[in-house]
Structure 1
Amino acid sequence: MPLHKVININSSTTIFLWKITESFEDLFDEVQLKDINLIRLNTMKSELHQRGFLSVRKLLSHCGYTDFDLIYDQSGKPYLEDGKHISISHSHEFSTIVLSDQNIGIDLELVKEKVLRIAPRFMDISHLDNLSEQDQMKKATIIWGIKEAVFKLKNEVGISFTDHIFEDPFLLSDKKGTAKLRFNEGVEQFTIVFEEIENYMLVCALKDE
């Protein structure tokens, strides 16, 4: 399937979303991989993960890049050779990348019942008060995504979802919010943008200047 959706966050930040309907073989035939990433692909045990990995390369191609333009630092954070910032996520049927002139983080999560069981481990569960069970699942998934996106943006050892990343109150209808990182005796502020895509939550974090 071609590109599923494009979301413009601001003048220099765009999200690209791919719905993965192709077979592994079709995706593999349509992309070129660096040797190191071909090895990485072949070590993946799940075909679902392999298809997500390859569909990200399809998104890169749509944006005028190839696998050869994508590099990773020692901690696994992706960069593009031309200096453009990129963040990557994939989950089950979807993959996504965001390109920006500023450092950015993105996360994509399938909404599942399990998130409510683990919610007390990573969030203030009072943020789920007065919501239906379905909306609690959606909001908890967004909050997990906020923490993932901020963590990806910062990419620093020692950051804890529970102890260091805090979402400010928001409504599901807002489609945006704010969050703080309290780490190493400093406080950083982030703008959060989120959107429901079928039964998935897409969350993007940008650092406030």
Structure 2
Amino acid sequence: MPLYKTIAVNANTTIWIWKIEESYEELLRGIIPTEKCLQRVGSMKSDIHRRGFLSVRQLLKIAGYEAEALFYDANGKPHLRDGKHISISHSFQFSAIIVSDFPVGIDVEKQREKITIIADKFVDYEFSYLNESELVRKLTVIWCAKESMYKVFAAPGMSFKEHTRVIPFDLGENETTAWIHFKGEVRKYRIPFLEFEGFSCAYAIQKCEV
């Protein structure tokens, strides 16, 4: 069972990260997917997406939840039936969940050169402190930060480029701060981040809750 990493963020919040090395059949073992889960995974054309989906169900099991404990609202945001908050991410061979008493978001992304090509779609203010040094890694952290904030805020119409800001950070600090400014609302978040095996992971915790 390749549980890759467990992070106890605080007394109320835990992260579990899975490295996807098993086959689809191996990932089915020990879990009881709902009929809806099986229909959803059956509709996926990519093998890595199918295995990513099942690896999340394995992480849920480690966190103490059966598949039926997870449901999605009309906006596609995941929820747990016991009232705790959850966020989910998977990218290539890694998946992650974060479970907390408070609203939280998490994102995992592979560090790839192509992010420099699409940077102007999600970066505005951050260009003021970015340079060629460690550009791919920093852009990946910025994307993860913005995606994790979006997963907490979950407001249709919010733009990463126009409505989010990530303050300057050093990769060795493993944490930054970011804001959402959207329709008169201002939210400030702690954004801890980590890197492993060519991947970045960031998670968002609203400042007033820590």
TM range (shorter): over 0.9
In the alignment, which residue of structure 2 is the partner of 1:50?
Answer: 50
List runs of 5+ in structure 2 lacking aligned partners: none
- Matching residue's letter, 2:127: I
Contact 2:148 2:204 in 1 (8 A): yes
In the alignment, which residue of structure 2 is the partner of 1:94?
Answer: 94
In the alignment, which residue of structure 1 is the partner of 2:168?
Answer: 169
Aligned pairs, how many? 206
1:99-140, CA deviations, whole angstroms, 9 ceiling, x for partnerless residues?
1110000000000000111112211323322x52xx110000
State the distance in 1 between where 2:128 and 2:112 align.
19
State the distance in 1 between where 2:56 and 2:72 align.
14
SS at match of 1:174: coil
In the alignment, which residue of structure 2 is the partner of 1:154?
Answer: 153
State the distance in 1 between where 2:95 and 2:185 align.
33
State the distance in 2 between where 1:197 and 1:86 align.
22
Contact 1:119 1:125 in 2 (8 A): no
Q: Does residue 209 of structure 2 align to residue 207 of structure 1? A: no
Contact 2:2 2:21 in 1 (8 A): no
State the distance in 2 between where 1:16 and 1:143 align.
21
In the alignment, which residue of structure 2 is the partner of 1:62?
Answer: 62
In the alignment, which residue of structure 2 is the partner of 1:141?
Answer: 140
TM-score normalised according to structure 1 size: 0.95
State the distance in 1 between where 2:110 and 2:2 align.
21
SS at match of 2:74: coil
Identity of aligned residues (%): 44
SS at match of 1:17: strand
Deviation at 1:61?
A: 0.6
TM-score normalised according to structure 2 size: 0.95
